[in-house]
Structure 1
């Protein structure tokens, strides 16, 4: 089976190279593009103020992150969850840029861009010239957006996972996989051999059969 990790970040702004920092990271595990339920989540102290303009986007204030771990405190756990799997994100260069900047600040290697899977690129290929924001894609695929009052990394991951399933045909592949696994289970759980069972007709059944044969012209049962 093929493992990948879908992730999202919330930040203090748009420029990781000029001082903006990650304040929230969420990631969920996918197998064959379907969520397994395993997830990673961290709300972080960005070691700087969160501008009010950013708070209006994601709803996270300075009070929310007071006393929370710093990126250096969760880096190992995050990298362990990421493993060496492909990394899926919407507008992935943004999230890759921020995570890589945070990694470099703590003396780690940046994320390998060869691992990047950008759902925005996939959406533009499928729906050229159309709005392809996460909200627009959720509406297009009839995915419930009622809980998304602000940008929230974990909620956005869950919504994006549903979008990704639709973009890649993952739901259909999941059904095929389920059918194959059910068939395999049936084959392996069936008895390897069957014991023959002798069926002995009753005397009246044999007499009825002979009477029926007598009515046939040159029946094969009477040939020598």
Structure 2
């Protein structure tokens, strides 16, 4: 009798553990993990470039602006399960130096590319207001510079990657007047929906 009871207890325990594992897997697969949005939400205008040509610009209250912002946010979401299997390190934001004297002509105005350019507010007299780069909630300081200077910008150029999977993406931090970009930020996202939407904007303008 004791042997039968012991076997029954073991069976119940195994079933409970399997059930718990299944439930945990389902929860991890459903619960989203949100990656850092380095671009932030302070930008007030987005320019869309399709196949190297600017097709239009969209102000903050436009439907296109809102859709672009929404799809960008969604591109940074993944399930916790996927993040665990791929390793959290894959989703680290990395800041690197760039060397573009004119980031628009070097990145945005290149045939075969779809690119978004995010612009930020300026003062009433037109004077630039610079944003300061933050990574993981902290102001980023360039340890390779003489005084560990912060990274400032008032324009972001983001070439889009046509992929459903998490792929390496890059944004270039630039000066909107000089168009110079000295820093870029690498991150992972799945941008296929955003890529397709931006491509559709060119078709919309052409009609």
Structure showing greater radius of gyration is 1
TM-score by length of 2: 0.27
> Higher RCO, 1 or 2 (CA under 8 Å, sep at least 6)?
2
TM-score by length of 1: 0.25
Relative to its length, the structure with more helix (as a share) is: 1
